[in-house]
Amino acid sequence: MNDQPRDADDPIEPAAPQHASGPPDSGQAPTIVHAPEVTEVQVAAPAAPTDDRQVEVEDPWGSAFRRIMGGNLVMAVLAIITSLIVGGILIAATDERVQETSGYFFARPGDMLAAVWDAVGGAYWALFQGSVLNVSRADAGFAQLIKPLTDTLNFATPLIAAGLGVAIAFRVGLFNIGGRGQMLWAAAAAGWVGFSFTLPPVLHVLVAIAVGIVAGAIWGGIAGAFKAYTGAHEVIVTIMLNFVALWFITWMLRTPGLLQNPGSNNPISPAMPPSAVLPSIFGPPFILHWGFVLSVLAVVFCSWLINRSNLGFQFRAVGYNANAALNAGMDVKRITVLAMVFAGGFMGLAGAQQVTGAVTTGFTSGIDAGIGFDAITVALLGGSTPWGTFFAGLLFGAFKAGGFRMQAAEGVPIDIILVVQSMIVLFIAAPPLVRAMFGLPQPGRKSRRQVRDEAKIAAAAQQKGAQS
C-alpha cells in the first residue's frame, strides 16, 4: 500500500487514517500506549503526501477490489433502486398504451401517467408475485402462496455457486470470465456420468456432481496455468477457453457415441436417469431441489476457505500484493493455479446442478444459460464475499423467477432483467455516481470547516512533535 493521500472520492479509506478513532469493530482495548514524547506519528503525518506521485503505477486491480468489497449495503440498495427505476422507464417507454397516450399527453396527461403506472406497476407487481409471494393465489393454499419464494431459491442455486467461482478468483486478483466454459465441461462430465452409469440413487447424483466439479476445476486450472506459467492475461485466456469449450462440447453433443442422445439427430444429450437427478426438497408442487443445500454448503466452505484457512490467507495476500506474497515464500504460481481450480470447481458445481437439477431431460450446449456471466454480476454485487455472493444470488434468482412471470403475465420481455442486473453492477462499482444522483455527501470530500478544524489539530500535533 502507499501512504500517499488517497483519492478524495475513495469511499473506503478516507484521508488521514492516522487521525481516525479506533476501528468500530475492534473488540479489544487499545494495547498501544501513546507515550507523550512520541515523535514518530507526528513526524510521519506530513510525510505522507510528499512521496513521488506514483499513483498510476499502483496496481489498479487492487484498488478496484478494495472499492468493490468496500461497497456497503446502502450503496447496494441505492444501486438496486436506481436500476429498477431505469428498468421502469424502459418498460414504460416500450409499452403500447403509454405510447398511445403520450400522443395526447398535453391534452390529458392523466391518461399517460395512468398508463405508465399500469405498465411499470403491473410489471414489478408481477415480478414480486413471481419471486416472493403469489398473493393472487393466496386462496389456493399456503403452498401456492410461497411457491414463488422457493422458485427464487431454485434459480438462485446455480447463481450462488457460480458467483462463488467469480468471487474467489477476484480475491486472488483474477477475473474469472470463464464461467461458461467451466460450466459446460462440468455439465458434460456430470451428464455423462449421469446417463452412462448405473449407480444407487443418492450415490449416483453425488458422484455425477463430484465429477462435474472436478471437470470444471480442471478447465479453470488450465486457465490458471496459462496465467501462472506464461503470464497471459486471465481475462483473455478465460474468454478464449469459453469458446473452445463451447465448440468442443457442441461437437461432442452432435457426435454419436460421445454425448449425443442415441437416435437423435440434434445436438442434445440423453435424459438423466432418476437416480442422477437431485430430488425436490419439499416434493411437488415445489421444484426446489437439494442443489440449493449444496450451494449453501459451498458458501460455508468458501467462507472458511477465504477467511479462516491458511490457503485463503495466501489467496488474499497474492490478490492484494503478489510481490509481497512472493517475498514471503508463497508460491504465487501455484496459488494462481489453485485459485482458478477452486473457481472452476464452484463453477463446476453450478454446471452440475444445471444437469442434475434444472434441465434433466437432456442438455444442449446452451446448458450454461448465461449463468457464467450472471455470476460476474452476482459476485460484484456481493462484494466478492461468500455471504455477499449468497444474498446477491438470491436477489438475482428472484429477478429470474419473477422475470418469467412478468413476461408471461405482462408481456415484458425477460431480457429487462439482464439490463437491470448489469446496471446494478455498474452503479455498485461507481459509488460516487450513485451518491451524486441521490445528493449524498461524498466521503473524503469534507466541508471547509471540517478541513480547517482538522488542519488545526494536525498543526497542533506537529508542534508537539517538534517540541519534544
Q: Rank residues 69 and 207 by Cβ distance to another protein and give the closer one.
A: 69
Min. distance of Cβ 244 from another protein in angstroms? 5
- In the bound complex, what is the minimum distance in angstroms from residue 17's beta carbon to another protein? 4
For another protein, which is the closer residue by CB, 135 or 436? 436
DSSP states of 399-451: HHHHHHHHHHHH---THHHHHHHHHHHHHHH-HHHHHHHHTPPPTT---HHHH
Q: Are 370 and 421 in contact (CB under 8 A)?
A: no
Q: Which three-class secondary structure state does DSSP give residue 365?
A: coil
The sign of the dihedral angle between the CA atoms of 345, 349, 352, 354 is negative
Give the closest residue to 171 by CA, choosing from 375, 320, 297: 320
Of 209 and 420, CB closest to another protein: 420
Comparing CB distances to another protein, the nearer of 63 and 356 is: 63
Nearer to another protein, 141 or 415 (CB): 415
Residues 6+ apart with CB under 8 A from 395: 80, 381
Q: Minimum Å distance from CB 403 to another protein?
A: 11
C-alpha distance from residue 254 to each of 264, 267, 378 (Å): 9, 4, 32
What are 391's three cell numbers?
444474498
Q: How far is the CB of 64 from another protein (least distance, A)?
A: 4
Smallest separation (angstroms) from another protein to the CB of 16: 4
Which helix (H) or strand (E) segment holds residue 69: the answer is helix 60-70
Between 137 and 446, name the residue whose CB sits nearer to another protein. 446
How far apart are alpha carbons 416 and 55 in whole angstroms? 39
Q: Which of 288, 269, 292, 54 is nearest to 159 (CA)?
A: 292
Residue 104 beta carbon to another protein: minimum distance, rounded to whole angstroms:
21
Closest C-alpha to 81, from 441, 440, 434, 400: 434
Q: Are the beta carbons of 150 and 286 closer than 8 angstroms?
A: yes
Closest distance to another protein from the beta carbon of 413 (Å): 4
The CA distance from 155 to 392, in Å, is 12
In the complex with another protein, the residue whose CB is nearer, 18 or 136, is 18
As measured in angstroms, the least distance from the Cβ of 141 to another protein is: 34
Cβ closest to another protein, residue 23 vs residue 283 = 23
Of 95 and 145, nearer to another protein (C-beta) is: 95
- In the complex, the smallest distance separating the C-beta of residue 164 from another protein, rounded to whole angstroms, is 17
Residue whose CB is less far from another protein, 137 or 445: 445
Q: Please, what's the b/e burial string for 211-236 (b: 16 or more CB within 10 A of its CB; e: otherwise)? A: bbbbbbbbbbbbbbbbbbeeeeebee
The dihedral region occupied by 197, where left means phi > 0, alpha psi between -120 and 50, and beta the remainder, is: beta
CA distance 455 to 462: 10
List phi, psi (to 5°) of 289: -110, 175
